[in-house]
């Protein structure tokens, strides 16, 4: 853990030292840094957070308390939401579809039973849903999904994430390929030994190649009826927690004279490189929301989380300045 943060600090120091000679901070001002962390954190204040648990195959003993050097410490979905909102005031949710998957959205503060503090002036708060941890008996889990979960460091957790996200896609593909090699001599008489190494596809392929491979395999498998093709619509439906999420926000129907847009800031390699996934998402939205889906816009937010964290740091320090004066 120390090495990771040493590395981040060094990269930051290099960046600062590369600034032009004519750059000077105003007297009495410190630099303000935004920091996003792609793991679930308990937010103690904007500048301080503690790790709740590791996900995505990480397990590091050291306790993580994120407060030594940054003005804002937020989960990556919160950063993406803040960054997205800066560019489009209609952004109401942020979704990450990459190595892991998660979403954050803007909720009316009075509708949050867990919150016992003062209500914010805006009446709104952001919620990090950690939807990667979603599981339900309706989720179509195949044996190829179950095996990596059982053998993972956190069995029974992050099920939704494990069946769709970039971190696990390669492993699912490997297991399907292995079965095809064993039962249908897909690669000739012998199973390639490399294929038996868990997570080998994760390390030797780029995410977009893996995505393409899983897509091709799904099609091949579906047409040969070896196993059902389970990726696609069913997965996507869970993304939007069915219609209920939209109902909760009052955005599931079109009201007369209502031209309010609901923009979703979306980031991550899975969304960026897997066109079919994106198409499915759009058609499922249409199916779930009908005409109301016309007012839902998905915006790709490239590296939005880092920018969002920096903007949060900047706006927080402005707020402190106003409070002081």
What stretches of the chain adopt beta strand conformation (E)?
34-37, 41-45, 48-51, 65-66, 72-75, 91-97, 101-108, 124-128, 262-267, 296-300
What is the separation of C-alpha 87 from the centre of its chain, rounded to a whole number of angstroms?
19
Which pair of structure tokens corresponds to residue 180?
Answer: 């095809």
Which pair of structure tokens corresponds to residue 74?
Answer: 């937020």
Kindly indicate which of the ranges 4-12, 94-102, 208-216, 289-297 contains the residues binding ligand GLC, using the contact rule CB under 6 A: 94-102
Q: Which C-beta is closer to ligand GLC: that of 40 or that of 308?
A: 40
Instruction: Report the residue from 55, 218, 284, 293 that binds ligand GLC according to the rule CB under 6 A.
Output: 55
- The CB-of-76 to ligand GLC minimum distance in angstroms stands at 5
Cβ atoms of 51 and 222 within 8 Å: the answer is: no
- The CB-of-124 to ligand GLC minimum distance in angstroms stands at 20
Instruction: Report the residue from 71, 81, 82, 96 that binds ligand GLC according to the rule CB under 6 A.
Output: 96
What are the beta bridge partners of residue 75? 37
Print the binding letters for residues 61-90 with ligand GLC: x by CB under 6 A, - otherwise. Answer: --------------xxx-------------
Q: Which C-beta is closer to ligand GLC: that of 107 or that of 177?
A: 107
Print the binding letters for residues 133-172 with ligand GLC: x by CB under 6 A, - otherwise. Answer: ----------------------------x-----------
Cβ atoms of 186 and 177 within 8 Å: the answer is: yes
Q: Using CB under 6 A, count the residues that bind ligand GLC.
A: 15
Cβ atoms of 160 and 132 within 8 Å: the answer is: yes
Q: Which C-beta is closer to ligand GLC: that of 96 or that of 210?
A: 96
For CA atoms 104, 106, 112, 115, the dihedral sign is positive
Cβ atoms of 313 and 69 within 8 Å: the answer is: no
Instruction: Report the residue from 102, 218, 284, 293 that binds ligand GLC according to the rule CB under 6 A.
Output: 102
Q: Which C-beta is closer to ligand GLC: that of 98 or that of 289?
A: 98
Which bin fits 227, alpha (ψ -120 to 50), beta or left (φ > 0)? Answer: beta
Binding region for ligand GLC (CB under 6 A): 38-40, 55-56, 75-77, 96, 100-102, 130, 132, 161
């Amino acid at each position: 853990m120390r090495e990771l943060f040493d590395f981040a600090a060094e990269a930051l120091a290099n960046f600062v030292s590369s600034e032009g000679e004519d750059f000077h901070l105003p007297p009495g001002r410190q630099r303000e840094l935004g920091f996003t962390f792609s793991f679930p954190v308990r937010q103690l204040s904007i500048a301080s957070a503690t790790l709740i648990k590791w996900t995505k195959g990480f397990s590091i003993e050291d306790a993580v308390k994120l407060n030594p050097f940054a003005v804002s410490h937020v989960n990556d979905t919160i950063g993406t939401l803040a960054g997205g909102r800066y560019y489009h005031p209609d952004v109401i949710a942020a979704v990450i579809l990459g190595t892991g998957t998660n979403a954050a959205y803007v909720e009316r503060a009075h509708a949050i039973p867990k919150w016992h503090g003062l209500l914010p002036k805006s009446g709104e708060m952001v919620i990090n849903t950690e939807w990667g941890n979603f599981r339900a008996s309706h989720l179509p889990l195949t044996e190829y999904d179950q095996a990596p979960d059982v053998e993972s460091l956190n069995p029974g957790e992050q099920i939704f994430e494990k069946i769709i996200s970039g971190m696990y896609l390669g492993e699912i593909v490997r297991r399907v390929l292995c079965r095809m090699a064993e039962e249908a001599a897909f690669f000739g008489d012998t199973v390639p030994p490399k294929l038996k190494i868990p997570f080998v596809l994760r390390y030797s392929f780029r995410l977009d190649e893996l995505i393409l491979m899983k897509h091709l395999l799904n099609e091949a498998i579906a047409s040969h009826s070896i196993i059902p093709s389970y990726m696609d619509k069913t997965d996507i439906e869970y993304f939007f927690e069915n219609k209920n999420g939209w109902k909760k926000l009052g955005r599931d129907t079109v009201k007369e004279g209502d031209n309010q847009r609901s923009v979703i800031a979306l980031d991550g390699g899975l969304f960026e490189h897997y066109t079919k996934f994106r198409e499915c998402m759009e058609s499922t939205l249409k199916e779930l929301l009908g005409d109301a889906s016309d007012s839902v816009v998905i915006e790709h937010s490239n590296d939005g989380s880092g920018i969002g964290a920096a903007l949060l740091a900047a706006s927080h320090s402005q707020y402190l300045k106003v409070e002081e004066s």
